[in-house]
Amino acid sequence: MSTQASSIEELVRQLAARLTEKGWMLATAESCTGGMIAAACTDLAGSSQWFERGFVTYSNEAKTEMLGVPAELIARHGAVSEEVVRAMAEGAIRHSRAQVSIAVTGVAGPSGGSAEKPVGTVWVGWCLGQSIYSMRLNLQGSRAWIRLETTSHILKTVLANLH
């Protein structure tokens, strides 16, 4: 097992303990990670106690249909944007029974980047109760590395903010 994978496994264990302690559930809304976060969560035995559901919304249509992200928001800001990731995080809460959500959208590469959103541009968002947070990551590396690093980063971030 790689160091990154064992680190993710440990982060999931810690997140599971914190969510279980609070009696809260988690929902994920993923684009560029394609379900990696949900898979990491459900790799842990007993995850049904704290993991409610995962949305893999790779296409713009899926973001709109499954999460309620307004098509106009995507058209105006692009799928890889702070506005869209925040709408995804909120949509994951609205379309589940979870109290916490994680959302990610980005350009994992190796193609698909632009001058303003180069490969490695990833927006992560999370919702804790009524509050929505977001942050931009600027990652470098292979597609696999960008996806793993995004997974690791958002798990660490949510864990750090889950008091």
pLDDT, tens only, 84-102: 999 999 999 999 999 999 9
Q: What is the CATH number of the domain that holds 143?
A: 3.90.950.20
Number of domains present in the structure of the chain:
1
> Which residue ranges in the chain fall short of pLDDT 50?
none
Looking at residue 4, what is its pLDDT?
Answer: 72
Question: Taking the complete model, does pTM exceed 0.85, yes or no?
Answer: yes
Looking at residue 163, what is its pLDDT?
Answer: 81
Which residue range is the domain that position 140 belongs to?
Answer: 3-161
How far is 108 from 61, CA to CA, in rounded Å?
A: 19
Looking at residue 1, what is its pLDDT?
Answer: 52
| Residue pointed to by tokens 């992560």 | 124
Q: How many residues does the chain have?
A: 163
Per-residue CA distances from 63 to 3, 19, 139 (Å) = 32, 26, 23
How far is 8 from 17, CA to CA, in rounded Å?
A: 14
